[in-house]
Amino acid sequence: MTEIFTARSVEEAKDLAAKKFGKKISEIRFEIIDEGKKGLFGLGAKEAKVKATIADQGSAAAQSTAPKTTAPAPKDEPVTKTASEEKPVVTIETKAEPVKAAEPVKTEAQESPAENVAEDMEEEAYSLDNFTLIEDEALINPKVKLAKDYITSILRAMDVDAEFVVYQNETGAVINIESNNNGTIIGRRGETLDAIQYLCSIIANKGDKDYYRITIDCLGYRSKRKETLEQLAAKVAKSVLRTGRSQPLEPMNPYERRVIHSAISAIDGVSSRSVGEEPYRKIIISSNNPRRGGGRRDNRRDGGRRNDRRNNGGERRNRDREVNMERRSVDLSTSFEKDYKRPKPEDSIEGGLYGKIEL
C-alpha cells in the first residue's frame, strides 16, 4: 500500500504516515518527493511531500498464498503436480526480491543529499508541538533523569534554585529550566546554556549506541534567540542587496549558523557560506549579483592611445580590487576575534597562564 503525505517537514510527514498505517517509522519505506522549504517569517514556505509504502504487505501476501498451494499437495498425492505448483511460487519470490532490494537503495540515495543540504534537519530549532509535557516523574525517560540530576548538581554548586519542566518524545526531550537567576544559567549569548546541554548529552548517552537528543532551555531562550538571528539575517541580507558587498557575521556555534543559513536560503539574491575554524568559524553573506566598480573612463574623449592606457590601468586596478575583496571576505576579522586575540595582562610571563590567584 502506497500513499503520499504532506506536512511542514519531512519528519512530520513520516509521523503522519506512521499514524495512518498504524506502524512504526522503521517498518515503512519512505521516498522523499519534495523536501519543502522554510520561509522567512512564514513567507515563501513550502510543505514537504513524502511517499510512504508498507514494505511488509507484499511478503505477507506471499506467505498467505504459500500455505494454500502447499495444503492441497498432500491430498492430490501426485509428485508432478506438487512440483509444478511449487515452482511458480519460487519464481514469483525470486522476481519480487530484486525489486524490493532495489527500492531501499533509491530511497537512501535520495535521503543522503537532503541531509547534507539541510545540514541535519533533526538538529534544527525544536518545536514543542512535537513533544509531550511529562508531569509524572515515573514516565520520564531514564536518560532525562540523568540529565536532570546533573543539572541539579551544577545549579546547587552555583547556589541557584530552579524548577524543571520536561517535554519528551521517542527521539529526544526538552528540559526547560525556570529559576530566579536565569541570566547566570543562560550566560553570554547562551554560552553557559550550551555548555550545560553539551555535558548533559554526553552523560545521558554514555555507553549507549542509541542517541537520545536532549535540549536544555531556560524560559524559552532558544526560540527568542532563533527569532533574533532570523531578524539579523534579514537585516544583513537587505544591506548586502543594497550595497552588493559581502558582510561577515560574528563567530557562532553550529546551531546558530544553521539558523542563519536557513533564513538566508529563503531570501532571493543572497547566499551564505561558513568560513574559518572553531571557535572563530563564522558566516559570510554575499550577493549573487555583486556590483563591480570601474568603467567610467570609457566615455572620456581623450586621445585614443592615452585612453587605452587608462582603460588598461583601470582594468588592472579593478582586478586587484576584486582579488582584495575576495581575500577580505574570507580573512576578515570581526571585532569579537580582535578582542579575543588581543593580549591580556594575565598572559604575561610573571602572571602565569591564568594569572595570580589569591588564596
How many Cβ atoms sit within 10 Å of the Cβ of residue 338? 9
Residue 359 covered by a domain: no
Residue 187 covered by a domain: yes
82 and 149 inside one domain? no
Q: What range does the domain containing 88 cover?
A: 2-121
Phi-psi region of 22 (alpha: psi -120 to 50; beta: other; left: phi over 0): left
Q: Is the pTM of this model over 0.75?
A: no
35 and 113 inside one domain? yes
Q: Provide the CATH number for the domain around residue 178.
A: 3.30.300.20
Written as tens digits, the pLDDT of the chain (359 aa) is 788 888 878 888 888 888 888 888 878 888 888 877 776 655 666 788 888 887 655 555 444 444 444 444 444 444 444 444 444 444 444 444 444 444 333 333 333 333 333 333 334 445 677 888 988 888 999 999 999 999 999 999 988 889 999 999 988 999 999 988 888 899 988 889 999 999 999 999 988 888 999 999 998 898 899 999 999 999 999 999 999 999 999 999 888 999 999 999 999 999 999 999 988 899 999 999 877 654 444 444 444 455 555 555 556 665 556 545 544 444 444 454 555 455 544 444 444 444 444 43
334 and 251 Cβ atoms separated by less than 8 Å:
yes
150 and 188 inside one domain? yes
Q: What span, in angstroms and rounded, lies between the C-alpha atoms of 92 and 80?
A: 19
67 and 168 inside one domain? no
Pick the last residue of a domain from 76, 93, 121: 121
Task: Look at the chain and report how many structural domains it folds into.
Answer: 3
Q: What span, in angstroms and rounded, lies between the C-alpha atoms of 59 and 49?
A: 26
Q: Which residue has the cell 549569548?
A: 189
163 and 253 inside one domain? no
Pick the last residue of a domain from 162, 185, 219: 219
Task: Give Cα separations from 172 to 9, 60, 129, 348 (angstroms).
Answer: 17, 33, 13, 46
Q: What is the DSSP letter of 164?
A: E
Residue 349 covered by a domain: no
